[in-house]
Amino acid sequence: MQGHVDFAKTLLSHKPDLVTELDSHGRSPLHLASANGYVEIVKLLLAEDTSACAIRDEDGRTPLHLAAMKGRVEIVTELAEAKREVTRFVLDRGETVLHLCVVYNRLEALKVLVGMNTMADCVNVKDDDGNTILHIATMLKQVETVKHLLRTTAVEVNELNGSSITALDIIQHMPRDLKAVEIQELLVKAGGVMAKRISASMTKAAATTEQCVAVLAPQPSSVTTEAPISAQPPRRALDNLLKHLKEQDHRLNRKRDSLMVVATLIAAMAFQAGLSPPGGLWQEDKVDPVNQRKIQEAGKSIMADRKPYLYKAFWIPNTLSFVASLTIIFLLVSGLPTEKRVVLWILTATMWVTIISTTHAYIYALAIISPLDKGMTTVFHSSADTWLGVLGIVFLGHTYRFVIWIIRKWKLGKLEMAIALEMGLMGVVALCCRM
């Protein structure tokens, strides 16, 4: 992981079987060198044992998969030539190394792979969702990738995916921009058609075949006819997907609007409470006649003079509530992509801070202005503790979901996070050893 070629060479000369040693995530040294782009170390490891190319980590990825995801073109070439069969290994969801090149937008690595004889027929391989690399490139609006596939490979432009739609169907139902228009023109020039035309032509051909069979086959004395079964329109799945995305976008917009309204309201409340604190303000100056020292000043808080500790306990959460509300308003109007889960979680967490701070400010404000007896104090604190407990439970639940989402994203391809953590730990250990 540190890229020390000479050190690695010395280690291998003493213990060659280190090439196939695996870490706790099932990764070999070749995995790490390929992901980090250390070409010389990759060549060194391959010269020792080419079988390391076929080792899969805990997510089923070979060093070639990682090199393709990172766009390490030279390493992709070395690995593919060292062991050609690894270019045809697929992941758990049926993705080939070509799928990874498209998903991570690594066009140069894709060009190298599709140019190999062993990969010429893989451009039409489908994943478990029925998507070829042309479907995925169209979904991601990768103009150059689509252009390369249509001009230099034998990709099937009218292949149907698992939802029975073609690449042209996909781009037709996506938001219109310059990329979408260009990809549509490329697909049409390459002979791309909508799925409904393919379905219609197949139905017509099937009807013609049935007529021929009916003429050639012996006619029974009585024929029972059945009504034809109507097939589901091929666009139904995509329409349902788009409807779901629109509903999700509508929910996000409503949540964003709700956050804006609540944050504005709390900011106004905190602002007003700051200017007119509980207990009121002194209306006039008052001077001690003995030592001529000012003991009260007009416009200052009465409770700040009488009970400074209680006023401070109110002032701190009230100010925090005001600042947190302004932070939410600023983040919402600054144009951040609120559809991103991370941004939405930050906004929600900030709103929780705002609500909790407002609750504390309310508690201390009542303590300032209300002569509470023992019974009222018990009820008041019990209600406040219950409310804060409910907020804490909900916050922990959302935090748990957020952590699970991060773990899933990491397992789907965020290898660099794990590598960075391991490199950081190694650096700490090395530093401790030096000290």
Tens-digit pLDDT profile for residues 112-130: 998 887 777 788 899 888 8
Give the tokens for residue 104: 């991570």
- Residue 114: is it exposed, middle or buried by C-beta count within 10 angstroms (0-12/13-18/19+)? buried
Q: Contact 187/168 with Cβ under 8 angstroms? A: yes
SS (H, E, C) 246-285: HHHHHHHHHHHHHHHHHHHHHHHHHHHHHHCCCCCECCCC
The DSSP line for 378-434 is HHHHHHHHHHHHHHHHHHHHHHHHHHHHHHHHHHHH-HHHHHHHHHHHHHHHHHHHH
Q: What is the pLDDT of residues 53-99, one digit of tens each?
A: 999 998 899 999 999 999 999 999 999 888 888 888 888 888 899 99
Q: Could you give the count of Cα atoms lying within 13 Å of 42 in the half-sphere of its Cβ? A: 25
Instruction: Report, as ranges of residue numbers, the positions in the chain whose pLDDT lies below 50.
Output: 202-238, 414-416, 419-420, 430-431, 433-435
Q: What is the pLDDT of residue 214?
A: 38
Q: What's the predicted TM-score (pTM) here?
A: 0.49
